[in-house]
């Protein structure tokens, strides 16, 4: 029943709540030196952010635990036939979590566009948790930068999931440049919603987000 609900309502209200503690520089060091598989509870702290809407945080928590209703997960639970598991974005690969968010050509291109917007280079690990850790600490462990990159990573995955659902359920396709615009617009909206002193508009934000935040 849970997965049928997820199919109908996508991800708005289908998830599990958990409590996350604060995040520290020591915790960052531990994550970066933990090897290929840092503890899941530590990684989960990276998707707990006071500027991210609750439903999006729940989505991210489920993503890290491979509990989203991807086609591969639905097939594993007998909800879908194993032959109906091709990626909802439209490529010819099985829709696993790692494929949809990291290796699907559309997602690969979106991550490249996001990095170009931020002005950073990087390679994408093929594991969700590793990708989150690497992206979040792309520029070091400064608190302000880490906080911003947490928001962007969460938002990127949220946009990918919604694009997948729009294509699958609504037959609506949005190209990558427009998806990037959504990321820019939503990130600006989330930051402004929690900070009345944040006065920058779309033109400056579109070109220099780190400068707007005073961390560029």
- Domain residue spans in the chain? 2-18+38-212
Low-confidence residues of the chain: pLDDT under 70: 1-48, 138-141, 196-197, 216
> Can you tell me the distance from the alpha carbon of 41 to that of 43, in angstroms, rounded to the nearest whole number?
5
Instruction: Tell me the percentage of the chain whose pLDDT exceeds 70.
Output: 75
The pTM assigned to this predicted structure is 0.79
Segment 53-77, tens digit of pLDDT: 999 999 999 999 999 999 999 999 9
């Amino acid at each position: 029943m849970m997965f049928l609900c997820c199919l109908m309502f996508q991800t708005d209200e289908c998830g599990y709540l958990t409590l996350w503690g604060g995040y520290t520089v020591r915790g960052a060091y531990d994550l970066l030196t933990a090897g290929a598989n840092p503890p899941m509870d530590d990684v989960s702290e990276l998707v707990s952010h006071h500027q991210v809407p609750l439903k999006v945080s729940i989505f991210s928590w489920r993503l890290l635990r491979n509990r989203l209703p991807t086609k591969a997960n639905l097939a594993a639970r007998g909800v879908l036939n194993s032959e109906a598991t091709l990626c909802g974005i439209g490529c010819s690969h099985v829709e696993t979590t790692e494929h949809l968010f990291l290796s699907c050509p559309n997602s690969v291109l979106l991550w490249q566009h996001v990095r170009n917007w931020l002005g950073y280079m990087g390679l994408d690990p093929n594991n969700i948790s590793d990708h989150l850790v690497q992206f979040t600490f792309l520029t070091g462990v400064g608190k302000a930068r880490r906080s911003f990159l947490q928001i962007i990573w969460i938002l990127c995955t949220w946009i990918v999931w919604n694009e997948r659902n729009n294509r699958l359920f609504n037959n609506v396709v949005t190209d990558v440049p427009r998806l990037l615009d959504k990321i820019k617009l939503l990130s600006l909206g989330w930051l402004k919603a929690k900070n009345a002193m944040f006065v920058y508009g779309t033109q400056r934000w579109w070109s220099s987000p780190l400068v707007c935040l005073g961390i560029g």
